[in-house]
Amino acid sequence: MTQAIKFCPRPMVAAPFGLCLGGGTEISMHSARRQPHLELYSGLVETGVGLLPAGGGCKEMVLRAITASDAVHADSRGESVEVYETISDVFETIAMAKVSTSAFEARSLRILEKSDLITMNRDRLVSDAKAQALGLVHAGYTAPVPRTDIPAPGASVQATLKLGIYTMLEGEYISAHDAKVATHVARVLSGGNVTSGTPMSEQYLLDLEREGFLSLCGEAKTLERIGFTLKTGKPLRN
Q: What is the pLDDT of residue 70?
A: 80
Domain harbouring 119, CATH code = 3.90.226.10
Residue 34 belongs to a domain: yes
Residue 238 belongs to a domain: no
Q: Is the pLDDT of residue 21 over 60?
A: yes
How many structural domains is the chain composed of? 1
pLDDT in tens, 111-143: 999 999 999 999 999 999 999 999 999 999 999
Residue 94 belongs to a domain: yes
3-class DSSP state for residue 223? helix
Q: What is the pLDDT of residue 79?
A: 57
Domain region containing 169? 2-232
3-class DSSP state for residue 40? strand
* CA-based nearest residue to 108, from 93, 119, 129: 93
pLDDT in tens, 23-78: 999 999 999 999 999 999 999 999 999 999 999 999 999 999 999 988 766 555 55
What's the rounded Cα separation, in Å, for the pair 101 and 83? 26
Q: What is the pLDDT of residue 71?
A: 73
